[in-house]
Amino acid sequence: MKSGRNRAARGARRISLTAAQRLDPIEADRLLWGRESDPLGRRGFLRRSGLLALGAALGSAIPHARFLPAGLMPAAFAADNALSEIPGKEGLIILNDRPWNAETPAHLLDDSVTPNRHMFVRNNGLAPENIDPDAWRLEVAGESCLRPASFRIAELRERFETVSLQLQLECGGNGRGEFVPAASGNQWTIGAIGCPEFTGVRLRDVLNYCGIGADAVYVGYFGADTHLSGDPDLDPISRGVPIAKALERESLIAWRMNGEDLPLQNGFPLRLVCGGWPGSVSGKWLRRLVVRNQVHDGEKMAPPSYTVPRLPVAPGSRVPDAEMRIIESMPVKSLITFPRSGISIRQGERLDVRGHAWAGDDLVSSVFLSIDFGATWLPAAVQSPANRLAWQDWSSWVQFAEPGYYEIWARAMDSAGRSQPMVVPGWNPRGYLNNACHRIAVQVT
C-alpha cells in the first residue's frame, strides 16, 4: 500500500492543475485518487485509500476533504510555467512570444495600483519599432464623424483636459486554461488582469470636438501593430465599443501609465483604455479612431472572437455565429494576492489574507472567504474603489483549528447580487469569462 501511495503522489506532482483539467477532470480524479460514488450515490466520494493517496501527494492530511468537489485538483498542484524576460517586465509567466502574451502571478499583483513591470501583456500582433512619440498622430474619422481631425500627442495635451484614473483591464480569456474541453488560445490562468493608473484625455472630449453624428453607433480603433504574417494590408485586431461606452467619463486616450510613458508592450506611445470591458477593446499603439453608424466590423469583431453563446450550451458544442453575442461588461471576480499559494503556517496562527475584487462596469458589494472548500463562508472587509472602474481592495484573516492541507477560496459578489461560481462556469467555444473562485494552498503544521 505504501509504495502504491508513493507512486500516486509522484504521479500527482507531475500533473499541473491546468493539465489535469484539460483531460476529463472527473476521470482524472478517479484514476489518481480512486474517487467514485458511494452507496448513497454521492459522486466524487473519496474512499480511504484515495484520501490517503491524495494526502500523501500533498504531504499532509486534508481536514475538510469531504467537501472537496469532484474533479477539482488541489491548488497545491498548480505549476508555474517557465519565466522569461520581456523588456521592462519582471516575473511574468510567458504564454507566447510571437506575439508576446504573458500573465502575472497573483502574489505580484498585491499592490493597490499595478506597477508597470507587473502589468500583464496581451498582444495580437507585433509591436511597432522605432517609434517617435513627438511625430505620432491620431486620426479621428468615420461615417458618423462630422469634423474629421488629426492630433499629435502634444496637441491632445494642450487642447483637452488631462485626467488620471485607476482602471482595471482584464483579458476576456483570463482563466481559459480551466475550461474542459480545452478552448484554443493562450491558456491563461488567473494573471491576465491589472489596475494601473492611466493618464490621458477623455475619449468623449475628443469625439465631441470632432462631432458625433446622430446615427453614431460604435467607435472602432486601428493600431500600428503588424500582423504576424507581415502583410501590411491585414490588421491583427481592430475592435471597439458602443458609443455609450465611448462617452463614459472613464474612457481614455492615454499616453502614461503610473506617471511614466506607457510600456512598449502595453501600447506606447498612445492607447485606448475602456475599463471594465475585455482588454481587447482598449486598442494599443493607437493610430486611428472611427465613429461608425453600425457595429464596428474590424478584425476580431465577428464570432467566435470575443463572443459567447447567448444561451448555455453543452461543453464541446459547435455554436452558430447567429447565436453568439459580443462580450461587453466583464463578470464579477476576485483575486487572492497575499499570502502566496503554498505557504506553511502553524496551527492556531492568525493568517492575514488580502486581494482585489472587480465587477466590470459595476461595484463589488462583498467578498467572502472559505477554508473548507466552500462549505462555509466568512465576510471580508471591502474598500471602495479609487474611482469608478478601479478594482477594490479587500482584506481579512483566518485561523486553522488542526494541522493539514487547506485551501483559501475567495468569492466576490457585485452590487446586482451576482456572485462568482465556486468552480468553472458555463463552457463556451473560446474559453471566455471564467470567473470561478480563486484559491490558494496552505499547509498547517
Quote the CA–CA distance of 290 and 322 in Å, as a whole number: 25
Q: Is the pLDDT of residue 37 over 80?
A: no
Mean pLDDT of 192-219: 98
CB burial of 173-206 (b: ≥16 within 10 Å; e: otherwise) equals: bbbbbbbbebbebbbbbbbbbbbbbbbbbbbbbb
Cβ neighbours of residue 440 closer than 8 Å, sequence gap 6 or more: 75, 106, 336, 339, 340, 341, 342, 343, 407, 408
- Residue by residue, DSSP assigns 68-83 as S-TT---GGG--PPPB
Tell me which DSSP letter residue 359 carries: B
CA-nearest of 86, 73, 109 to 264 is 86
- Cα gap 114→119, rounded to integer Å: 6
Tens digits of residue pLDDT in 225-271: 999 999 999 999 999 999 999 999 999 999 999 999 999 999 999 99
Whole-number pLDDT of residue 18: 44
Bridging pattern class, strands 137-141 and 240-242: unpaired
**292 pLDDT above the threshold of 60:** yes
| pLDDT value at 22 more than 60 | no
Sort residue 185 into left (φ over 0), alpha (ψ -120 to 50) or beta. Answer: left
Q: How confident is the model at residue 436 (pLDDT cuts 50, 70, 90)?
A: very high
Kindly report which listed range (16-30, 156-170, 340-354, 365-379) carries the lowest average pLDDT score. 16-30
Helix (H) or strand (E) holding 363, with range, is none
C-alpha cell at 255: 499616453
Pairing of strands 378-379, 364-370: antiparallel
Which band of pLDDT confidence, cut at 50, 70 and 90, is reported for residue 30?
Answer: low
Specify whether the CB–CB gap between 113 and 196 falls below 8 A.
Answer: yes
pLDDT one-digit tens code per residue, 307-359: 999 999 999 999 999 999 999 999 999 999 999 999 999 999 999 999 999 99
Domains and CATH numbers, the chain: 2-69 (no CATH), 93-326 (3.90.420.10), 333-444 (2.60.40.650)
Q: Which of 8-17, 51-60, 435-444 has the lowest mean pLDDT?
A: 8-17
Q: Give the range among 50-54, 221-225, 399-403 with minimum mean pLDDT.
A: 50-54
C-alpha distances in Å from residue 222, one per residue of 91, 140, 298, 316 = 30, 10, 8, 33
DSSP string, 222-283: EESPBPTT--TTS-S---EEEHHHHTSTT-EEEEEETTEEPPGGGTTT-EEE-TTSBGGGS-
Tens digit of each residue's pLDDT (9 = 90 or more) over 241-254: 999 999 999 999 99
| Confidence (pTM) | 0.87
- Report d(CA 94, CA 77) in Å as an integer: 19
5 Cα distance to chain centroid:
36
Q: Provide the pLDDT for residue 62.
A: 77
pLDDT at 86 over 70: yes
What is the β-pairing status of strands 137-141 and 286-292? parallel
∠ Cα 308 123 319 (to 5°): 20
